[in-house]
Amino acid sequence: MSFRFDRFATLYLVNPLQRRAAGSESVPILMYHSISNDTEREVHPYYRIATSPLQFAAQMKYLRENGYQTASLAEVLSQLHDQNATRNKRIVITFDDGYRDFYTQAFPVLNQYGFTATMFLPTAFIGDSTISFKRKDCLTWAEISELKRYGMLFGSHTVTHPQLRDLSPSTVCEEIANSKTTIEEKLGCAVDSFSYPYAFPQADTNFTKMLRESLRQAGYQAGVCTIVGRANRKSDPLFMERLPVNSCDDDALFGAKLTGAYDWVSKSQYLSKMVNARLRRSTVGAKRRVLKDFPSVQ
Beta pairing class for 136-137 and 193-195 = unpaired
The backbone torsions φ and ψ at residue 10, rounded to the nearest 5 degrees and listed phi first, read -65, -50
Residue 201 to residue 226: CA distance in whole angstroms: 9
Please measure the distance between the N-terminal and C-terminal CA atoms of the chain and give it in whole angstroms.
Answer: 60
Domains of the chain (ranges, CATH numbers): 5-293 (3.20.20.370)
Amino acid present at 251: D
- Would you state the pLDDT for residue 95? 98
Amino acid present at 137: D
In the chain, how long is the greatest CA-to-CA distance? 74
CB 217 within 8 Å of CB 191: no
Residue 263 CB contacts under 8 Å (≥ 6 apart), including other chains: 26, 228, 229, 230, 241
CB 253 within 8 Å of CB 10: yes
Sign of CA dihedral 280, 168, 141, 195: positive
CB 261 within 8 Å of CB 9: no
The backbone torsions φ and ψ at residue 180, rounded to the nearest 5 degrees and listed phi first, read -60, -45
- DSSP secondary structure string for all residues of 112-162: HHT---EEEE-GGG-BSS--EETTEEB-BHHHHHHHHHTT-EEEE--SS--
**Running DSSP on this structure, what letter comes out for residue 21?**
S
Residue 195 to residue 198: CA distance in whole angstroms: 9
Residue 80 to residue 60: CA distance in whole angstroms: 23
Kindly report whether the global pTM for this prediction surpasses the value 0.85: yes
Residue 261 to residue 14: CA distance in whole angstroms: 6
Low-confidence ranges of the chain (pLDDT < 70): 1-2, 19-24, 84-87, 270, 272-274, 276-278, 280-298
- Would you state the pLDDT for residue 82? 82
**Angle at alpha carbon of residue 197, lines to 196 and 202, rounded to 5°:** 60
